[in-house]
Structure 1
Amino acid sequence: MHYRQSIDDALDASVGARGLARTALDRELVKARGALDQLRAWHADGSLPLLRLPARRDDLQALAGHAARFGRFRHVVVLGTGGSSLGGQALVALRDQGFGPTPGRPKLWFMDNVDPATFAELLARLPAAETGWIAISKSGTTAETLTQLFTVAAALQAKGAPLAERLIVITENRDNPLRRYAVRVGCPILDHDPLVGGRFSVLSLVGLLPAMIAGVDAVAVREGAASVLDPALAARDAGQVPAAVGAALSVGLARDRGIGTTVLMPYCDGLGYFGLWFRQLWAESLGKGGQGTTPVRAMGTVDQHSQVQLYLGGPADKMFTVLIGDTAGVGAPVSPAALGGDAALSWMGGQSLGDLLLAEADATAATLQRNGRPTRVIRFEALDERVMGALMMHFMLETIFAAHLLGVDAFDQPAVEEGKVLTRQYLAARARR
């Protein structure tokens, strides 16, 4: 296992009245057995392909050719939103946290919004001949992605750089507007598995093609995911599955203690986009029929200076998951000579940035516990592909377990569809004016 989960400080024995009783946790874990049986059935019959992805390698060989071809560009832009973008961003952050790509690799840009000012700036700055484009939409009907793509096509045509020779489209293998466009212009089309929903697609080509272009080891990501999935499928009961325990904790706290917000707080910049990926996964999968808890991404240490006052002094309606890497001794230690003999700074001598980060993470978790805030801690060694894959599989499974406990379908999003329909109606009405 590439991480360790502790829920002790989320139970009432540690944090008092706001914590979950052990009997309540056990109650939810008994209910979670049904989800564990369902996962085994899905894995056995292949009806949930997500569960087969960690063991697959054949598709990665095919993707490697596309990744190599796009590796010749200086820039690669991913057009897509939500699940078509967030997983890829989380994986690419393993290689690029904003300071530039790995030498010899393209810079990846994820355009997941349709603000025209941002898009105009992108098109003005990126050299057309040195930029590749990947358009991703499972349904092939996503208004944002289609509008982005047609905007790019027109801009490149005006520059004499046709889009087709520098474009890959990822969509379902059925008739849809995105696929029809790709056929019309003659660009490569990669099939999005219709049984892999966008927010669960990070281990598929949706997340892994951008990651491979950036130099991420896709095999290692899947190995990390398998290290979580395989023991879960082999477990005798849900209490042996960390993801099921996490789901039972969250749902139990919501039911018994009125905890309506779940805060994910990584003390690791490399998990910043992971937090945004989790936010969509949890919210869109569980927020149905009046059920669900609201996910919030906080970042340590920065949000100690913006959010923790609320977490400690505000409403006691949140549970916390603090993600902590072992950064002890990482970085150059502060030289005692640099402190100039200032006694107030004597504690800094010989300590590194990694030492400070770890101390602040531990202190925040302890402070939350001491103030009666239910707190789960997940620890890992250095963040790498296997750790990332393991964490992603953990939280996908935790979400599926939580959906079962709440009695909702983890894989649909009916409320989102209403907004999409209204958007098209508003645009059609505007066109008739």
Structure 2
Amino acid sequence: MNLPYTQDLTDCFAAEIGDGGLDATNFDRYVAESEKAVLRLRSAYADHSLPLLRLPETRDDLAVIGEVADRFRSSFGDVVVLGTGGSSLGGQTLCSVAGTGLGRRPGAPHLHFMDNVDPNTFDNLISALDWQRTGVIAISKSGSTAETLLQLGAVIGALGQHVAEDRIADHLVVVTEPADNPLSVIARQYDCTVLDHHPEIGGRYSVLSVTGLLPAAIAGFDIGRLRDGAGMVLEQLLSDAGVHDVPSATGAAVSVGLNRHTGVGISVLMPYCDRMTDLGLWFCQLWAESLGKNGDGSTPVRALGTVDQHSQLQLYLDGPADKMFTLILTETGGQGAPIPGTFADIEGLSYLSGRTMGDLFAAAGRATAETLANNGRPTRVFDVPRVDEISMGALMMHFMLETVIAADLIGVNAFDQPAVEEGKILAREYLAKGGGL
């Protein structure tokens, strides 16, 4: 099956870039190990034990999501999405691709993802919005996320100053798992719409569920096509194809092999596409929270071409050789504003003659990938001919599957995050004591 992207791992191998790359023997070893992980995923699909794998083919929830999205699109000029971590980052990523804000799709409201509790930022938002024309989505799988509950309290207070109490429900949608929890109690109190968060799909893997799809639909995304793209990647994994033909498996094998044998402890994701800026945020949570356990894992870093050529690239090329690079390149050649003809007459600018902004963007991406490889830095390149719902669904499913397979290879649970609980407990204790804040 042809995927809406290609993955080129050539410049991750020692045969191409020298000692900084993975040798063929170790690659073959990790590919063989990843085959076991792929077989386990196929089994999990067959017995429905990993609901994430069934999302691409699911269609019975799209109508309800679409109805809520249509109501919000027709009723509101602004939509505030409350949530943090996996409850926010997937939706943020999709809405960035959809083009919200600057150049947003026709009919789409402005979406504001409030994923922090900095009071200055939140107060500024509350004072800036027309609350009679503002909708609110509160997302928390557990329904007990302190940040989201506090945010919701502030927003309901703002709504209460501008709309009648019995109309607050028209402005509010809650997404939480079907259980008694503080968020569901609040939803019942205001009799607002509640959409179920699948109880067996964790936040960082939930982008293809209502968590990511509702904001994306409001932004104008065709959410069925998003799942179709994810399904293309999953179908290849579930087929009888050899593991060498499963990009998420070979990607995981290279990532873990480089970490184990060449000292690569940092994974840099660098799209050359402004619309994919937030993909780095989403990937960082996915990779870090899934793999960083028991002293293992690698540190994800978000970068953006061409911007970070002028800030981070010096370190990447001439600093510690402890990084793997993943560049995502899109087809921009010939696009954008042309260089004025008069510029070609300026000394040193003749190389820009007849070129466009898109030409420069494309050339910079190719040049960076080649330069990294020439300097012995393992570099993977994704080519994405078209940035749309299909390709984004495919890419995000690829990274989720790659992460799950990598977790299997290093022997950790991809779906828990036990170490962060201590901080949550201490924060609650500080709040309960009141003093010393």
- What TM-score, normalized by structure 1, do the two folds share? 0.97
2:309 counterpart residue number: 304
Give per-residue Cα distances to partners, 1:102-143, cap 9 Å, x unaligned.
222211110000000000000001001000000000000101
Report whether the alignment pairs 1:234 with 2:239: yes
RMSD of aligned residue pairs (Cα, Å) = 1.4
**Pairs within 5 Å for 1:144-155:** 144-155=147-158
Report whether the alignment pairs 1:18 with 2:23: no
- Tell me how far apart the structure 2 counterparts of residues 311 and 169 of structure 1 sit (CA, whole Å): 43
Q: Quote how far apart the aligned CAs of 1:98 are.
A: 3.7
Classify the secondary structure of the residue corresponding to 2:355.
Answer: coil
Q: Quote how far apart the aligned CAs of 1:96 are.
A: 2.1
Q: Quote how far apart the aligned CAs of 1:340 are.
A: 5.9
Report whether the alignment pairs 1:314 with 2:319: yes
Choose which of 378, 381, 387 in structure 2 pairs with 1:377: 381
1:212 counterpart residue number: 217
- Tell me how far apart the structure 1 counterparts of residues 385 and 242 of structure 2 sit (CA, whole Å): 27
Give per-residue Cα distances to partners, 1:341-397, cap 9 Å, x unaligned.
224111111101111001000000000001000101110102111111110000000
Choose which of 4, 22, 26 in structure 1 pairs with 2:6: 4
Report whether the alignment pairs 1:357 with 2:366: no
- Tell me how far apart the structure 1 counterparts of residues 434 and 120 of structure 2 sit (CA, whole Å): 21
Instruction: Check the 8 A contact 1:220/1:385 in 2, yes or no.
Output: yes
Instruction: Check the 8 A contact 1:100/1:107 in 2, yes or no.
Output: no
Report whether the alignment pairs 1:279 with 2:284: yes
**Pairs within 5 Å for 1:59-138:** 59-71=61-73, 72-96=75-99, 98-138=101-141
Matched AA of 1:360:
A
Moved more, 204-213 or 52-61: 52-61
2:262 counterpart residue number: 257
Paired positions, count:
432
2:162 counterpart residue number: 159
Classify the secondary structure of the residue corresponding to 1:365.
Answer: helix
Instruction: Check the 8 A contact 1:261/1:319 in 2, yes or no.
Output: yes
Give per-residue Cα distances to partners, 1:66-111, cap 9 Å, x unaligned.
1111112101100000000000011111222541532222111100
Matched AA of 2:265:
G
Classify the secondary structure of the residue corresponding to 2:65.
Answer: helix
Moved more, 255-264 or 156-165: 156-165
2:415 counterpart residue number: 411
- Tell me how far apart the structure 1 counterparts of residues 57 and 106 of structure 2 sit (CA, whole Å): 30
CA spacing shift, 1:211–1:151, aligned 2, 3 Å:
same
- Tell me how far apart the structure 1 counterparts of residues 137 and 296 of structure 2 sit (CA, whole Å): 35
Classify the secondary structure of the residue corresponding to 1:18.
Answer: coil
Matched AA of 2:218:
I
- Tell me how far apart the structure 2 counterparts of residues 38 and 422 of structure 1 sit (CA, whole Å): 37
Classify the secondary structure of the residue corresponding to 2:317.
Answer: helix
CA spacing shift, 1:262–1:432, aligned 2, 3 Å:
closer
Matched AA of 1:186:
D
1:54 counterpart residue number: 56
Identity rate of aligned residues, in percent? 55
Choose which of 369, 384, 390 in structure 2 pairs with 1:386: 390
Q: Quote how far apart the aligned CAs of 1:263 are.
A: 0.3
1:33 counterpart residue number: 35
- Tell me how far apart the structure 2 counterparts of residues 347 and 432 of structure 1 sit (CA, whole Å): 62
Q: Quote how far apart the aligned CAs of 1:431 are.
A: 6.8
- Tell me how far apart the structure 2 counterparts of residues 98 and 397 of structure 1 sit (CA, whole Å): 30
Gaps of 5+ in 1: none
1:174 counterpart residue number: 179
- Tell me how far apart the structure 2 counterparts of residues 3 and 96 of structure 1 sit (CA, whole Å): 21
Matched AA of 1:201:
S
Classify the secondary structure of the residue corresponding to 1:135.
Answer: strand
Matched AA of 1:373:
R
Matched AA of 2:180:
D
- Tell me how far apart the structure 2 counterparts of residues 112 and 273 of structure 1 sit (CA, whole Å): 13
- Tell me how far apart the structure 2 counterparts of residues 362 and 100 of structure 1 sit (CA, whole Å): 27
Report whether the alignment pairs 1:333 with 2:338: yes
- Tell me how far apart the structure 1 counterparts of residues 410 and 36 of structure 2 sit (CA, whole Å): 12
Q: Quote how far apart the aligned CAs of 1:332 are.
A: 3.4
Q: Quote how far apart the aligned CAs of 1:239 are.
A: 1.8
Gaps of 5+ in 2: none
Q: Quote how far apart the aligned CAs of 1:429 are.
A: 1.0
- What TM-score, normalized by structure 2, do the two folds share? 0.97
Classify the secondary structure of the residue corresponding to 1:394.
Answer: helix
